[in-house]
Structure 1
Amino acid sequence: MPAAAQPPQTQQDLHAALRTRMIQSGEYSRIMDALRAKLDESGWEDQVRDAAREKARSQDPPNLHSLVKDLEPTALNMIPQEARAEVEAMVRAFVEKSVE
């Protein structure tokens, strides 16, 4: 079947293909390292750890699966906007370079 006649990929397929390409090129590791550095600078890990402790104290008995499920949205919202913007710019640059 010619490429033009193939059905469009789903967003999930595109994300998987992009992630694979990023991993193979080494770009994924570089972006993750930059993100970790930004999160370390901001104290994000300590903030998430404190929130997890508070949440775990309120659980009887503490449950890791439930804790992670409850804490994930909070942890994601705690990521500094500067870190988000930097990672988005790095991914966007990779995609633009890959599409050329």
Structure 2
Amino acid sequence: MNKESRVKATINQKLTETGERERLKELLRAKLTECGWMDQMKAHCKEVIKEKGLEHVTVEDLVVEITAKGRVLVPDSVKKELLLRIRAFLSQHAS
């Protein structure tokens, strides 16, 4: 495991142990719902299913189809807020 992987694993472990990971996930869900992202993604899923036909779409296909668009549609303000929260957490828990 390289240094970057170890650092990521350590940060992830600390986020999980302290419960911050769950708090960040809840914040993300709330922000995405608030800005209409969830509705946009539901609509996109419906479009994909309508285009390909329900019997021709698997969950895996749907995930592949919508992942890139989903990432692009996340507002920069939401990304920035999460990044600031993570940085603040890391500053408080730096060892």
TM bracket, shorter-chain basis: 0.7 to 0.9
TM-score normalised to structure 2 length: 0.86
RMSD of aligned residue pairs (Cα, Å): 1.7
Partner of 1:18: 11
Please identify the structure whose Cα radius of gyration is greater: 1
For residues 88 and 50 of structure 2, the distance between their equivalents in structure 1, rounded to whole angstroms, comes to 43
> 1:80 and 2:75 equivalent?
yes
| Alpha-carbon contact 1:56-1:63 (below 8 Å) kept | no
Aligned twin of 2:57: 62
Distance 2:79 2:88 in 1: 14
* C-alpha distance in 1 between matches for 2:22 and 2:9: 16
Q: Following superposition, which runs of at least 4 residues in structure 1 exceed 6 angstroms of deviation?
A: none
1:24-35 paired onto structure 2 within 5 Å: 24-35=17-28
How many Å separate the matches in 2 of 1:84 and 1:26?
20
Report the secondary structure of 2:67's partner residue.
helix
Aligned residues: 93
Q: Which runs of 5+ in 1 are unaligned?
A: 1-6
Greater relative CO (CA pairs within 8 A, separation 6+): 1
Partners of 2:52 and 2:6 in 1: how far apart? 37
CA positional deviation for 1:82: 1.1
Q: Secondary structure of 1:20's match?
A: helix
- What residue number does 2:42 align with? 49
Amino acid aligned to 1:80: P
Identify the residue that residue 97 of structure 1 maps to in structure 2: 92
Structure with more of its chain in helix, by fraction: 2
Q: 2:33 matched to which residue of 1?
A: 40
Q: Percent identity?
A: 24
Q: What is the TM-score normalised by the length of structure 1?
A: 0.82
